[in-house]
Amino acid sequence: MKDFILKYLFKINPNTPGQTLLKSFNLLFPGATNVEWSKEKEGKFEVIFRVNGIEQIAWFEKSGTWLKTETNFKIDMLNPSIREKLEKFGQIMSSIYIERTDCNSSYEFIIRDSFQVRHIFITDSEGNVCERRNFDEGELL
């Protein structure tokens, strides 16, 4: 009801980011294009955008505090040592680099093995496997 009142009576859309959040975003990602915002649970905002043709997704608090960014890495963007570690498990189908406010960066990979089974690998920033699970079943391996 509150959102209805704000949106239709006061012409304020509570699902769009405010000026503080937009300022934060523009400072962190000045070259962003194709920007699409959505409001998530607990008042957090998700923004999907591109920088230099690479898709990224970032999450922010309404206050403008940045929480994390996921960057869809092309395979040739990976550090060769990380790529070498993971190709031992099969074909790398996709890779996402994850940056967090706590400075603990990581990767999420989808890798298809020789039996055509897809697996999700979570690694640290050096490509060391921290977690592995079957993609289709979500079970830890």
User: For the segment 19-35, what is each residue's pLDDT rounded down to a tens digit?
Assistant: 999 999 999 999 999 99
pLDDT tens digits along 67-85: 999 999 988 999 999 999 9
Listing DSSP states for 32-72 in one string gives -EEEEEEE-GGG-EEEEEEETTEEEEEEE-TTS-EEEEEEE
CA–CA distances in Å: residue 93 to residues 87, 90, 116, 119: 10, 9, 11, 10
**Same-domain status, 61 and 111:** no
Domain membership of residue 59 as a residue range? 1-68
The per-residue pLDDT of the chain, averaged, comes to 88
SS3 for 113? coil
**Same-domain status, 88 and 139:** yes
**Same-domain status, 139 and 86:** yes
**Same-domain status, 94 and 139:** yes
Calculate ∠ Cα 131-133-135, nearest 5°.
Answer: 135
**Same-domain status, 13 and 60:** yes
Its pTM stands at: 0.80
Look at the chain and report how many structural domains it folds into.
Answer: 2
Residue where one domain finishes, among candidates 53, 68, 83: 68
Asked whether the beta carbons of 87 and 80 are under 8 A apart, the reply is no
Q: What is the pLDDT of residue 12?
A: 55
